[in-house]
Amino acid sequence: MAKRPTRRGSRPYDEDDFQDNEVMEELEDDADDFEDDEQDDYSEAEEEEEERPRRRSRKKSASSAPVSRKRAAEAAVGKEVRLKAFWGVYSQNMQCVETFEFAQKEAALKKAAELEESKKMLFFVKLDKKVIES
């Protein structure tokens, strides 16, 4: 018989190792038992389904249409929601270090560059919108 090495090269094996009839018979018996169990479970499930009455499906009403967040906020408060834009300087941990007015984007970029040089961390500028109460 020819010997072949295994994939990992642990030990060579013979073809005789795989011709063990007892092992194959045990595996077949286990497979048969498993199939019988599955059939029993399936027949019990079918019987339970037949006994249960079917439920009526409910139709969704037209009033449950999706509503945007802005309109939902307006309806809840009863007045118009206003937002104001700011430039925020953030660290790499998403913590806001400083905020600038919308017109001061260059100042925000300079501040981010200064912080990067001094702290040797990543800082970036992001647009923020905050609610203004009127």
Q: What is the mean pLDDT of each run of 10 residues along the chain (134 residues)?
A: 61 58 68 59 57 65 62 67 94 95 97 95 95 82
Cα 21 from Cα 32, distance rounded (Å): 17
Residue reference for tokens 């929601």: 81
pTM above 0.85, yes or no: no
**Cβ atoms of residues 98 and 104 within 8 Å:** no
The pLDDT score that the predictor gives to residue 24 is 67
**Token code pair at residue 24:** 């194959």
Q: Is 111 left (phi over 0), alpha (psi -120 to 50) or beta?
A: alpha
**Token code pair at residue 124:** 């970036």
